[in-house]
Amino acid sequence: MDESEDVPKDFIKLKSEKLSVDEVSELVISPYCGAVSLFIGTTRNNFEGKKVVHLEYEAYTSMAESEIKKICRDVRQKWPSIKHIAVHHRLGVVPITEASVIIAVSSPHRAESLEAVTYCINTLKASVPIWKKEIYEDEYSWKENKECFWANSEK
């Protein structure tokens, strides 16, 4: 395969169905890359002593996709060797232990892909309009990300 046939691609998806680590990682594999780095954010069963039953996510979908595209552009500027980027985020109900978000990045070497994955998740939490509601046994709470710039600007 000529490298020009394996042009860098971004795979962005917001969906209500269960996310697949295999599907996301396979999207970014390239014969020109020796590294695929993954971040998988899963629903845990507790928060500050409360039992979490499940999470629910809502998004302003078109704006969220646009913001994720900006993150991908930023990644490519910061780490020009990055080949493919995949960001899949689940919407709706996410049961305990299931993935809310999966990010995968491929690059020729591990350092760039690891740094890029960290940048992707931190920037996504800070700037993408996706909201999380934690459902407990007898109550619920909308959660803001501590990284979220618009939430912190009002405090």
Annotated binding-site residues for substrate read 109-110, 125, 132-134
* CA dist 42 → 46, 69, 136 (Å): 12, 22, 16
**In the block, residue with structure tokens 């690059």:** 107
Q: What is the DSSP string of 35-73?
A: EEEEEEEE--SEETTEEEEEEEEEE-HHHHHHHHHHHHH
Tell me how far the alpha carbon of residue 48 is from its chain's centroid: 23
The Cα 95–Cα 87 span in angstroms is 20
Q: Which of 119, 146, 43, 130 is nearest to 89 (CA)?
A: 130
- Between helices 110-127 and 61-78, what is the axis angle to 10°? 150
